[in-house]
Amino acid sequence: MSQSATANGPARPSLVGRIGRTLLNFWGIALILVLWEALVVLNDFNVIVMPRPWAVFADIWANPGLYLQNFMQTAWVAMGGLVLGMIAGTTIAVLAWSSRILNGLLTPIGLIFSSIPVVAMIPVLARMLGYGTETVLAIVAILSFFPFFVFTGSGLKLLPAGSADLFSVFGAKKHQRLFHLALPSALPNWTVALRLASANAILGAMVAEFLMGTSGLGQMLHAASQAFNTERALGASVCATIGSVTLFVLVVSLEARVRERWT
Amino acid sequence: MTDRTAAPAIDFRGVTKSFRLPDGKTLTALTDTSLSVGKGEFVALLGPSGCGKSTLLRLVAGLEAPSSGAVAVEGRAPEELVKAHRLGIAFQEHALLPWLTVRQNIELPFRIAGRPVMRERVQGLINLVGLAGFEAARPKQLSGGMRQRVAIARSLVLEPEILLLDEPFGALDAVTRRQMNVELQRIWSESRISTLLVTHAVEEALFLADRVIVLSGRPGKVVRTLEVPFARPRHPDVMRTAQFHQLVDELTETLHPTDGAGH
Amino acid sequence: MSGERTQSALLGALGVALMLGAWEVIGQNRLVGMTWPPFSSVMAFLFDPSRQALFSRALTATLGSAGLGYLIGGLAGLAFAMLGQILPVLRPGTDRATAVIHAIPSIALAPIFIVLLSREAAPTALAALNAFFVFYVAGASGFASSSQTQRDLMAALGASGTKRFFHVDLPAAFPGIVSGMKLAVPAALIGAIIGEWFGAPRGLGILIVNAMQNFQIPLLWSVVVLAATTSLVLFSAMTLLERIVHERYR
Ligand SMILES: Nc1ncnc2c1ncn2[C@@H]1O[C@H](COP(=O)(O)OP(=O)(O)OP(=O)(O)O)[C@@H](O)[C@H]1O
Ligand SMILES: [Mg+2]
């Protein structure tokens, strides 16, 4: 790379410069696709075992209603569960903040649940709550609860230097401390929880649907794998991936904006 | 000019403050300290690092309770003044809230006190500390000196009866510091609030204060009180006079007695 | 100060005890129905000698695939992070690829791994994928945490990118990597268990899903408790290691 090319790059984005930058940003993803293709070619898979990408998209194109319906189903339980878990986790974190005893009682429980594979508990919940959409919703809510509880809880204590003393000198009451100081301080951590929980929300919904075989993309994936319909299984995967990556990108940009403003 | 016969603004009577350390030992930060600040008086507190200056200030602000002795502010307990929102304070680490703009940071005391925001007063203070045009900026967009000025404006916004300043310019370079001293003296001259300033800088103390109190090394104790002879308003040129230099030498000698052995 | 610490430890122990107590009471009184067995009967089931062989075979299988995935994913994640650090031009690309991989629900990748590799390899592959992300993030932010002065010093000494990496960036990244090693434990276990649900011959995931489908409630709970406890033990061991390393390097 020549000195002048890098110097000119940011100032006047030429077509070549723009392509170059895109390549730099996405070379990792391109590499994965190339590796995949290479693996398919090297292993000499036939079309039935490993469909070419276009076959997967053709299946989606041929059955838009089926895909859309299942996608919407999974998307709304994932979002709904995420919101429920967010509300519950944040609320309990605030309650723990306001009471030293509650904080002491709950903190280790939160730690325990964030160090175990909670996804493995989905079958227990499914059996307990019964097979159905509400159960998927509850499972996503429970999966989302712990990141919000743990991260909001620690964020409420990450106050700017000296601000706690400042509020004492202001004679601030407890609710003023909460709304003017602790909650705003916790926002960056809260967005981290949002990122972690949303990466898990669609996964949790799909795993629950997959195990119970009731509805949504997970059920589609389950049925297709049972029937060795690889195109359909990969179609469901593609839909889940699109939904999950979109959500992730939105959340990451929100997180970046908060970080920008807060530090 | 200063009335020291009436009830003093700040009164320390034989105050001792010890801290219990994690290993069970106790550390005495202040021992049997008595001092007072008259109404409308500006007192500067000098002393070696760790001698208990900040502790003394925190006792006045009600952030710590004395181990023995009594602290009275306006003849009452410090907590009462805090509850009435009559205390202004600026810390060394400025303690601005990073998510609020300059204007919102200065308005914060109104909101905590539950009073309507006096917009003209806030704007007047912004102009006074020379930050007109930066009302919408966030703390991270400001220089260190500008942040200190925001903190000082915030400490003054409720027209406090007592002003406490803990090394407000400690983080600044010498040139900016001198500028800030000149500005603080101008601002103070307009309000004449009873002020206690903690500082490491002998020149700063002499230029700003009516009286300079020197504490000994830990545990802190008053070792010297000096009435500053310069008339107000003080022009920065006063720092060039022989008398000023002589007082600086004298106080430096009190602070670091061994240094003077060779004179 | 130390009194406060004992107090919070006591409160924490009380909290955990209350949780287990509630579990027992709800189970004893069937407050949630037959699907919630009391703590004591789950423990009795778990420690019943006649089932030790079953549990240990499943646990060994899951730990094997999770452990192998942890190693592969960890090394790949660190290598990828190193690449971005030694050749900074590549950094945006590595960041983006890792974020996208992370955003894909791992269950959606299982069908691909089954085709590309095999049913037996899916648990290892998903465990590796989950560990990869955690290690990449820990490594990348760790390598970047060496101070600017240290890096400037290396530049002034005329050190190459690789030299700087091994003398400054790598040691600076060590605490972060150890924290990543801890967080990757439950992540790898989740990957292995989900992978097993796609038809591995044995493992905790298989026991869980079979127990669920056949209404074997005590078995279901026991295996979940076993998986959780295993993760907790490994996680705690890593926390200890983390504490030692942090004391050394900070
Ligand atoms: N909360 C506390 N717990 C234990 N020790 C404390 C506490 N606050 C202050 N100290 C100790 O009291 C002594 C005086 O501290 P203080 O902060 O008042 O010093 P200072 O004079 O302001 O020093 P500096 O000029 O460096 O700011 C120090 O030895 C400090 O370690
Ligand atoms: Mg101090």
Higher-confidence residue of B7 and A48: namely: B7
pTM (global) more than 0.95: no
Break chain A into its structural domains and give their ranges. Answer: 2-40, 53-262
Q: Is C250 exposed, middle or buried (0-12, 13-18, 19+ CB in 10 A)?
A: exposed
Q: What is the pLDDT of residue A8?
A: 42
Average pLDDT score, chain B = 87
Residue in C with minimal Cα distance to A204: C105
Tens of pLDDT, residue by residue over B38-64, are 999 999 999 888 888 889 999 999 888
Question: Does residue B172 register a pLDDT over 60?
Answer: yes
Contacts of B63 in chain A (CB under 8 A): 165, 168-169
Token pair, residue B196, equals 């206690």
**Ligand 1 atom closest to Cα of B53?**
21
d(C-alpha B188, C-alpha B193), whole Å: 7
Higher-confidence residue of B179 and C249: namely: B179
- Is C104–A244 a contact, with Cβ atoms under 8 angstroms apart? yes
d(C-alpha B202, C-alpha B215), whole Å: 13
d(C-alpha C26, C-alpha C33), whole Å: 9
Question: Does residue C181 register a pLDDT over 70?
Answer: yes
- Using only C-alpha atoms, what is the Rg of chain A? 23
Residue in A with minimal Cα distance to B100: A262
d(C-alpha A241, C-alpha A29), whole Å: 14
Q: What is the pLDDT of residue C116?
A: 77
Token pair, residue A90, equals 């944040």
Choose which residue among B53, B63, B164 to substitute to test ligand 1 binding: the one with the highest number of ligand atoms within 8 A of its C-beta: B53
State the SS3 of A165-206: HHHHHCCCCHHHHHHHHHHHHHHHHHHHHHHHHHHHHHHHHH
> How far, in Å, is the centroid of ligand 2 from the Cα of B161?
22
- Is C11–A26 a contact, with Cβ atoms under 8 angstroms apart? no
State the virtual CA torsion across B137, B141, B145, B146 in degrees, nearest 10: -10
Question: Which pairing describes strands B10-20 and B211-215: parallel, antiparallel, or unpaired?
Answer: unpaired
> How far, in Å, is the centroid of ligand 2 from the Cα of B67?
19
**Is the CB of residue C218 less than 8 Å from the CB of residue C41?**
yes
Q: What is the pLDDT of residue A259?
A: 85
Q: What is the pLDDT of residue C203?
A: 92
**Is the CB of residue B15 less than 8 Å from the CB of residue B51?**
no
Q: What is the pLDDT of residue A183?
A: 95
Q: Which structural domains are found in chain B, ordered by start? A: 1-86+164-170+188-263 (3.40.50.300), 88-159 (no CATH)
> How far, in Å, is the centroid of ligand 1 from the Cα of B218?
9
Could you tell me the fold of the domain covering A53-262?
A: MetI-like fold (1.10.3720)
Q: Which of B65-74, B125-134, B214-223 has the lowest mean pLDDT?
A: B214-223
Q: What is the pLDDT of residue B1?
A: 46
Q: What is the pLDDT of residue A6?
A: 41
Contacts of A26 in chain C (CB under 8 A): 93, 96-97
> How far, in Å, is the centroid of ligand 2 from the Cα of B54?
4
- Is C101–A32 a contact, with Cβ atoms under 8 angstroms apart? yes
**Ligand 1 atom closest to Cα of B167?**
27
d(C-alpha B40, C-alpha A9), whole Å: 61
Residues of chain A below pLDDT 50 = 1-10
A207 in reach of chain C (CB within 8 A): yes
**Is the CB of residue C65 less than 8 Å from the CB of residue C130?**
no
**Ligand 1 atom closest to Cα of B200?**
25
- Of the candidates B168, B227, B158, B222, which has an alpha carbon nearest to the alpha carbon of residue B193? B158
- Is B58–A162 a contact, with Cβ atoms under 8 angstroms apart? no
Q: What is the pLDDT of residue C148?
A: 65
Phi, psi of B227 (to 5 degrees): -80, 125
B25 in reach of chain C (CB within 8 A): no
CA distance A1 to chain C (A): 11
Who among A161, A172, A262 is closest to B99 (CB)?
Answer: A262
Question: Does residue B106 register a pLDDT over 90?
Answer: yes
Residues 6+ apart with CB under 8 A from C112: A234, A237
Average pLDDT score, chain C = 87
- Of the candidates A82, A79, A103, which has an alpha carbon nearest to the alpha carbon of residue A93? A103
- Of the candidates C198, C192, C138, C145, which has an alpha carbon nearest to the alpha carbon of residue C172? C145
Question: Does residue B141 register a pLDDT over 80?
Answer: yes
**Ligand 1 atom closest to Cα of B64?**
1
Mapped onto helix, strand or coil, the DSSP state of residue B12 is strand
CA distance C1 to chain A (A): 15
Token pair, residue A20, equals 């170059």
C residues 128..147 contacting A (CB < 8 A): none
Q: What is the pLDDT of residue A49?
A: 61
Q: For C165-176, what is the mean pLDDT? A: 81
C213 in reach of chain B (CB within 8 A): no
* Spatial strand order in the sheet of B211-215: B87-90, B162-166, B194-199, B42-46, B211-215, B222-227
CA distance B168 to chain A (A): 13
Task: Tell me how far CA of residue B198 lies from CA of A199, A220, B10, B170, in angstroms.
Answer: 50, 70, 14, 10
Who among B62, B93, B112 is closest to A172 (CB)?
Answer: B112
Cβ-based neighbour number of residue C30 at 10 Å: 12
Please give the DSSP secondary-structure letter assigned to residue A160: P
Percent of chain C residues past pLDDT 90, beyond the cut: 43
**Is the CB of residue C193 less than 8 Å from the CB of residue C235?**
no
- Of the candidates C101, B171, B100, which has an alpha carbon nearest to the alpha carbon of residue A181? B100
**Ligand 1 atom closest to Cα of B215?**
21
Residues 6+ apart with CB under 8 A from C202: C57, C58, C61
CA distance A15 to chain C (A): 19
List ligand 1's pocket residues with C-beta within 6 A: B 19, 27, 29, 47, 49-55, 218
B233 in reach of chain C (CB within 8 A): no
Which residues share a beta bridge with B164?
A: B89, B196
CA distance B12 to chain A (A): 19
- Is the reported ipTM for this assembly greater than 0.90? no
Task: Tell me how far CA of residue B182 lies from CA of A43, B45, B193, B245, C233, in angstroms.
Answer: 79, 18, 17, 18, 62
Amino acid residing at B205 = A
- Is C96–A123 a contact, with Cβ atoms under 8 angstroms apart? no
Q: What is the pLDDT of residue A263?
A: 75
Q: What is the pLDDT of residue A50?
A: 64
From atom 8 of ligand 1, which residue's Cα is the shortest distance away?
B55
Q: Give the chains touching B; criterion: ≥3 Cβ pairs < 8 Å.
A: A, C
Residues 6+ apart with CB under 8 A from C162: C86
Buried b (16+ CB within 10 A) or exposed e, B80-109: ebbeebbbbbbbbbbbbbbbbbbbbbbbbb
> How far, in Å, is the centroid of ligand 1 from the Cα of B154?
25
Point out the ligand nearest to the CA of residue B218: 1
Which residues share a beta bridge with A106?
A: none
Buried b (16+ CB within 10 A) or exposed e, B176-190: bbbebbbbbbebbee
Point out the ligand nearest to the CA of residue B50: 1
From atom 14 of ligand 1, which residue's Cα is the shortest distance away?
B52
Question: Does residue C72 register a pLDDT over 50?
Answer: yes
d(C-alpha A209, C-alpha C107), whole Å: 11
3-class SS shares of chain A: helix, strand, coil, % to 5: 85, 0, 15
CA distance A90 to chain C (A): 19
Tens of pLDDT, residue by residue over A33-73, are 777 777 777 766 655 566 666 778 888 899 999 999 999 99
